[in-house]
Amino acid sequence: MPSHTSRRGLLFGAAALSTGALITGCTSNESKDDDSDDKSQQVADDKPGKKVTIGFAGPQADHGWLNAINDNAKKRAEKYSDVTLEATEGSNDTAAQIGQVETLINKKVDVLVVLPADGKALTQVGLKAMKAGIPVVNLDRVFASPQAYRCWIGGDNYGMGLSAGHYIGEKLKDKKNARVVELAGLDNLELTKQRSKGFDDALKNYPNIKKVARQAADFTVESGQSKMSQLLQAQKNFDALWNHDDDQGVGALRAIKQAGRDDFLMVGGAGALSAMQAIEADNSVLKATVLYPPTMAASAIDLARALGQGKGVNGMAEFEIPSFVTCYSAVVDKENVGQYMSTGFK
């Protein structure tokens, strides 16, 4: 497999990289009608191409981040005149979502983008779509079988923990016996465990820092306020707090204000607009947030469009779109918040 890829890369990649972009850039009008085999060397760009109908099945937007996912997908699809988006009503009910995806298969959409409420439970219908010749872009919550999707794009929960841990580690590296507290998300979810694991692994690089407490909340403002006020009561002094989620962070910040505490730095998670605004204003303990970018939904539409048009990805030598794309969990702090503000979600 590796030798196969590298051979293809060597033979055609260089050519595609140097000339492919040039050709599509300059002669896109002609190449639109061109059905010759160098079509596979083309990379997707903003210019109108072959018409593509993308079926989008997302979850119920009962949370700021999921809402941003749906927004990002719709806005990006509107940007392309050659893309028609068939979006289903979001659902957290596995059976309902399977039904929705089946409806999209029956409508014979060209490409499917699916953010399953439960990745494992939607695997079968993903396989069904693939067998019906409809490539599936699996968004974020991964299917149980790689055969059920052509491409996966999603966030990096472990990486979120790592980024948060390293950021806090760098801030506290000169402090002796530094104490860190973690306000985790919903413990029933595997992603919460991954975030905590990444955080713990990052902190291992800083022997002067000790994690003294960890409590899990439910990703809601109410739970964030409640759990944080108890954490503050339990830990009379600590140097840094990592909160897994900016929505529950609204509650956590409220609890911190109510307790009148400002003796530590706080790092959030996900990238909500309110968190970014607080970071920019720099008037609270919240100094940074680790992204779990909802823009991945826009990227999923890009990838789906490229799939539908049989094109590759701009800036990569590959003929095809990649099978696996993991988004980076960047740290947004006062220095770079301006750059990320537009991705903040309500």
Partner 1 sequence: MTQPAPAAEAATHKSTPADGGSPWRAAVARADVRTLSLLGVLAALIVIGGITQPDSFLDSDNVQLILTQASVIGVVTVGMTFVIISGGIDLSVGAIVALASVWATTVATQDFGFAGILFTAVIVGMGCGLVNGVLIAYGAIVPFIATLAMLAAGRGLALQITDGKTQMVTVDGVLKLGERDSYILGIPPLVLVFAAVTVVGWLILNRTTFGRRSVAVGGNAEAARLAGIDVRRQRLYLYLLSGLCCGIAAFLLIILSGSGQNTNGNLYELDAIAAVIIGGTLLSGGRGTITGSVLGVLIFTTIQNIFALNNLETATQQIAKGAIIVAAVLVQRRSATTS
Smallest separation (angstroms) from partner 1 to the CB of 218 = 7
**Under 8 Å CB-to-CB from 227, ≥6 apart: which residues?**
183, 215, 216, 217, 248, 252
Smallest separation (angstroms) from partner 1 to the CB of 247 = 6
316 φ/ψ sector (left φ>0, alpha ψ -120 to 50, else beta): beta
Smallest separation (angstroms) from partner 1 to the CB of 157 = 17
Site for partner 1 contains 234 (CB under 8 A): yes
From 15-23, 46-54, 217-225, 309-317, give the range in contact with partner 1 by CB under 8 A.
217-225
Of 113, 156, 148, nearest in space to 130 by CA? 148
Smallest separation (angstroms) from partner 1 to the CB of 308 = 29
Beta bridge partners, 291, equal 270
By rule CB under 8 A, what string of x and - marks binding of each residue 64-103 to partner 1? x-xx------------------------------------
Among 36, 133, 177, 236, which residue interacts with partner 1 (rule: CB under 8 A)?
Answer: 236
Site for partner 1 contains 220 (CB under 8 A): yes
**CB closer to partner 1, 176 vs 346:** 346
Among 123, 274, 295, 309, which residue interacts with partner 1 (rule: CB under 8 A)?
Answer: 274
Among 93, 222, 262, 282, which residue interacts with partner 1 (rule: CB under 8 A)?
Answer: 222
Sheet holding 52-57, edge to edge: 83-87, 52-57, 111-114, 136-139, 151-154, 324-326
Cα 52 from Cα 304, distance rounded (Å): 9
Smallest separation (angstroms) from partner 1 to the CB of 42 = 38
Q: 337 in helix, strand or coil?
A: helix
- Could you tell me how many residues make up the chain? 346
Site for partner 1 contains 32 (CB under 8 A): no
Contact between 231 and 256 under an 8 Å Cβ cutoff? The reply is no
Other C-beta atoms closer than 10 Å to the C-beta of 209 total: 24
| Angle formed at CA 213 by CA 211 and CA 215, multiple of 5 degrees | 130
CA 123 to chain centre: 20
Q: Binding residues for partner 1, how many (CB under 8 A)?
A: 37
Site for partner 1 contains 243 (CB under 8 A): no
Site for partner 1 contains 281 (CB under 8 A): no
By rule CB under 8 A, what string of x and - marks binding of each residue 144-183 to partner 1? ----------------------------------------
**CB closer to partner 1, 60 vs 103:** 60
From 50-58, 218-226, 293-301, 325-333, give the range in contact with partner 1 by CB under 8 A.
218-226
Cα 97 from Cα 91, distance rounded (Å): 6
Smallest separation (angstroms) from partner 1 to the CB of 248 = 10
Tokens of 31: 């190449």
Site for partner 1 contains 254 (CB under 8 A): yes
The two beta strands, 324-326 and 331-333, are unpaired
190 by Cβ neighbours in 10 Å (0-12 / 13-18 / 19+) ranks as exposed
Among 187, 200, 201, 280, which residue interacts with partner 1 (rule: CB under 8 A)?
Answer: 187
- At how many degrees (to 10) do helices 246-259 and 221-234 cross? 40
Other C-beta atoms closer than 10 Å to the C-beta of 94 total: 15
Q: Which residues make up the interface to partner 1 (CB under 8 A)?
A: 60-64, 66-67, 187, 213-216, 218-223, 225-227, 229-231, 233-234, 236, 247, 250-251, 254, 257-260, 274, 346
